[in-house]
Structure 1
Amino acid sequence: MEKAVDNSVRTFMDMMRVPVLFYRTIGEDIYAYRSTNPLKSLLLKIYLYAGFINFNLLVIGELVFFYKSLQDFETIRLAIAVAPCIGFSLVSDFKQAAMMTGKESLIMLLEDLEDMHPKTQQKQKAYKLLDFEKTMKRVINIFTFLCLAYTTTFSFYPAIKASVKFNFLGYDTFDRNFGFLIWFPFDATSNNLIYWITYWDIAHGAYLAGIAFLCADLLLVVVITQICMHFSYISRRLEEHPCKSDEDRENIEFLVGIIRYHDKCLKLCERVNDIYSFSILLNFLMASMQICFIAFQVTESTVEVIIIYCIFLMTSLVQVFLVCYYGDMLIAASLKVGDAAYNQKWFQCSKTYCSMLKLLILRSQKPASIRPPTLPPISLVTYMRVISMSYQFFALLRTTYSDN
């Protein structure tokens, strides 16, 4: 039996659905400027700021715990255990800060992409939108599952474990533990009321950090997917253009339109760099340390801790790979424009047309890319460098710890 073909017209908001919905669960409304309910927008903003104030107080508690644990060699393993969580929290904070400071640029970017989005079924077939959307959805589903699995496991495993022991295995006491190592200026386990209030407070902070971390990358995936789709469409249009020698005016009009289209796509890439470049730099630096500390925990802990940290390790590895994969895809799609232009039957066209085509080919030799400060353009080569750096840190940490 043949699988039914999806003939529905896909809107730009269909592509944006997942990051927009998840962002709203923490109070961040990307399209707040379109809202017709100012009270709802205000309440969401209050919820967002209150959540981040709470989250950053918890991060301060983690930093204090980390500092105190470093004072004694007997507790240094606790410092190593909390270090990846601190790194994850700081990256989440910085991603959200970058999004808020670059909100106007982000809105302009999304508006331009929505305006360029193919609106009819015929155009969407020409753009091969369903193929791009299919790949994008798979990537989004895998990364969303891993990111939420990490925050959920860390948040709720201690309570589930204590409940099973107390209610089903006959333990006399309920162990009041938390999933994250945080210093509090009060006894957070003194009684059930304080414990559960603190527990849910930490769980909300972890969820907020996970969503801020996740959605910034999901937005990047959606944006780069759209830009690559446009580059791919430009390449196909160039290759399929007949270049009839007796239609010079039509050829030049076609090429002028393609050049303007190509230039607009390149400008969109620059706007992506304006929004994401610094957060990606911090992300990669922190990822190297995170992977190192998580790997150390996996090699030095009990089975249950290993399972929890393996989920964290997979999330970190997939997240870095995700950014590098889409960076590599953007470079390949933009370079393909020059190849497609050369593969035309340009030798049948006028000198003016060939001169314009040469300029397009020259411009395409400098590919569109994601460029963090001080780093080369992001590609799969970058991923190998991050993994290599993480391993070097891990080897150094293992050697230092073993010697002591």
Structure 2
Amino acid sequence: MSLLFDESLKSIEFLYKYVGIYLDRTILNNAEHIIKFRSLYIISFLWLNTDVIGAILWVIQGALHGKSLTELTYEAPCTTLCLLANIKSLSLVLNDDKVKLLFKQIRNMENNIDIGDEILKKKIVAEGITYLRAVIKSLNVINTLTLILFGVCPLLFIGLEYKKSGQIELVLPFLLVYPFNPYDIKYWPFVYVHQMYSAYIVVTWVAGTDCLFYTCCTSICTQFRLLQKDMESIIPDRSFDEDVFREKFKSLAVRHEGIMRSVIQLESIYAKSTLFNFVTSSFLICLTGFNVTALSNTGFMLAFLSFLMMTLMQIYLLCFYGDMIMTSSMEVSNAVYNSKWYTVNAKAARHLYVVQMRARKPSKLTAYSYADVNLNSFTKILSTAWSYFALLKTMESPTRV
């Protein structure tokens, strides 16, 4: 039963296709494979980071030359998201072997399910697929909207200025330092396209890495839910047969161990990027929210409002799926309790008790052991972001852009 995982992978492959990340292909560390399969990623990496360097230099120069707080915070969240995109994409590229192993573990689990109620199995799987597709579609909409707004707003600004004053004042989506004048009409179109493709790379890397995370979490949570149903029905209504119970219990225990191993594998891939995500999310939310309230240009304000929604959705879903892993793993304990454990002999009851006690300790994802990935962490991130936002508002300059 590889429907859930493989079908979900197909729905997100397009996010990686044009930036050189191959999710399900073995890539050897030799010159031929690197040139064949990594060249597009390396080009995208260099393309993006030329703009990242320019953005960092602009922020530094702006701080040294007395730019207003509003001008500085305009570029800061975009630069931070670029750095996050780098970390997230590298977490997949550098952990390619671990990703392939995780895929193998998940497929093995999905292809070795032995649950009696086929209708119930299909219902549980369908629920996971339906919810995951809704999440991915929502992300695609908000990400596309954000790209469109940042791409169109400068053009609208140029058009309105020309209509009002009769002069063309060239504007770019992002503020960067270049070794030439980017507002020269000879260079402006190329710089504009370069910046927008960099923005596309950022959104693709962040969304693609996160969607893969959601897909793996959905598959793992579905496995925990199927295991719960099997645990609840491990003891039949008819007379108890200890040999049959022993075989079935052994099979379920092996499945339980395999699911927990897949959680550990998933964390080993995402732990470092999740830590960076947690550390930067408060700043991203704070700075983006500040821009929404500080910018007087309606077009750019709407662009940052969309950016804020994208940032909030990104960190919320990360914590939400981490919370799902914890909850579904602990519910295995309740499933054991809901079985007819009281009808079996002491030896069989002890076996069930061991599983119940182990399941009370949740399988969880962490931000490199800094914090658990769950909804409590999301509320802490929001609280910290609000504190930073309040501090920025007290420092706000009356200058507007």
Q: Is this a same-fold pair by TM over 0.5? A: yes
Q: Give yes or no for contact 1:155–1:180 (8 Å, CA) kept in 2.
A: no
2:390 equivalent to 1:395 = yes
Q: Distance in 2 between matches of 1:343 and 1:374?
A: 33
Answer yes or no: is 1:23 the counterpart of 2:16: yes
- Unaligned regions of 5+ residues in structure 2, if any? none
Counterpart position of 2:305: 310
Matches within 5 A, 1:50-199: 50-118=43-111, 126-127=121-122, 128-162=124-158, 169=163, 172-192=166-186, 194-199=187-192
What is the number of residues matched between the two proteins?
392
Tell which deviates more after alignment, 394-403 or 209-218.
394-403
The letter for the 1-side match of 2:179 is: P
Deviation at 1:311? Answer: 0.2
Q: Distance in 2 between matches of 1:29 and 1:160?
A: 37
SS at match of 1:70: helix
Aligned: 1:345 with 2:340 = yes
Deviations 1:303-355 (A, max 9, x none): 22221110001011111110111111111110110100011111222222111
After TM superposition, the structure 1 stretch with the greater mean CA deviation from structure 2, 91-100 or 344-353, is 344-353
| In structure 1, distance between residues paired with 2:390 and 2:59 | 21
What does residue range 229-248 of structure 1 map to in structure 2 within 5 Å?
229-243=222-236, 244-248=238-242
Deviates more, 1:309-318 or 1:244-253: 244-253
Please state if 1:357 is matched with 2:352: yes
Q: Distance in 2 between matches of 1:352 and 1:34?
A: 49
- Alignment check: 8 A CA contact 2:2 2:111 kept: no
Query: CA offset at residue 149 of structure 1?
Result: 2.0
Q: CA deviation at 1:299?
A: 1.3
Cα pair distance change 1:182/1:135, threshold 3 Å: same
Amino acid aligned to 1:132: G
Whole-angstrom CA distance in 1 between matches of 2:311 and 2:334: 35
Matched to 1:140, the amino acid is I
Per-residue CA deviations over 1:233-279 (Å, capped at 9, x if unaligned) read 00011112334543111111111111100000000000011001111
CA contact (8 A) 2:336 2:352 kept: yes
Secondary structure in 2 aligned to 1:33? Answer: coil
| Percent identity between the two aligned chains | 20
The residue identity in structure 2 corresponding to 1:246 is F
Q: Tell me how far apart the structure 1 counterparts of residues 287 and 188 of structure 2 sit (CA, whole Å).
A: 28
Q: What is the rounded CA distance, in whole Å, between the counterparts of 1:119 and 1:373 in structure 2?
A: 31
2:269 and 2:320 map into 1 onto residues whose CA distance is: 19
Deviation at 1:222, TM superposition (A): 0.2
Amino acid at match of 2:357: L
Structure 2 Cα separation of the partners of residues 278 and 223 of structure 1: 17
Give the residue type in structure 2 aligned to 1:267. Answer: R
| Cα distance in 2 for residues equivalent to 1:398 and 1:94 | 30
Answer whether contact 1:245 1:348 (CA < 8 A) is retained: no
In structure 2, how many angstroms separate the alpha carbons of the residues matched to 1:41 and 1:13?
Answer: 25
Q: Is the 8 A contact 1:124 1:130 kept in 2?
A: no
SS in 1 for 2:146: helix
Separation of aligned partners in 2, 1:206 and 1:371:
28
- What does residue 380 of structure 2 align with? 385
The runs of 5 or more residues in structure 1 that have no matched partner are 1-7
2: CA distance, partners of 1:40 / 1:19: 23
CA shift, 1:171, in A, is: 6.2
User: Residues 53 and 386 from structure 1, CA distance in 2 versus in 1: closer, same or farther, beyond 3 angstroms?
Assistant: same
Residue of structure 2 in register with 1:226 after alignment: 219
Q: TM-score, normalised by structure 2?
A: 0.91
Q: Which amino acid aligns with 1:257?
A: S
Q: CA 1:294 to 1:228, structure 2 compared with 1: closer, same or farther past 3 Å?
A: same
Q: Distance in 1 between matches of 2:354 and 2:228?
A: 15
CA RMSD of aligned residues (A): 2.6
Of 264, 276, 283, the residue aligned with 1:282 is: 276
8 Å CA contact 1:155, 1:202 repeated in 2: no
Post-superposition Cα deviations, 1:112-144, rounded to whole Å, max 9, x if no partner, equal: 212322599985851521111001111111112
Q: Which residue of 1 aligns with 2:246?
A: 252
In structure 2, the residue corresponding to 1:108 is in which secondary structure? helix
State how far apart, in whole Å, the 1-side matches of 2:326 and 2:3 are: 26
- Could you tell me how far apart the structure 2 residues matched to 1:212 and 1:386 are? 22
For the structure 1 residues 68 and 218, does the alpha-carbon distance in structure 2 shift closer, same or farther, using more than 3 Å as the test? same
Return the alpha-carbon distance in structure 2 between the equivalents of residues 86 and 396 of structure 1: 21
3-state SS, counterpart of residue 3 of structure 2: coil
TM-score (norm 1): 0.90
Q: Which amino acid aligns with 1:150?
A: T
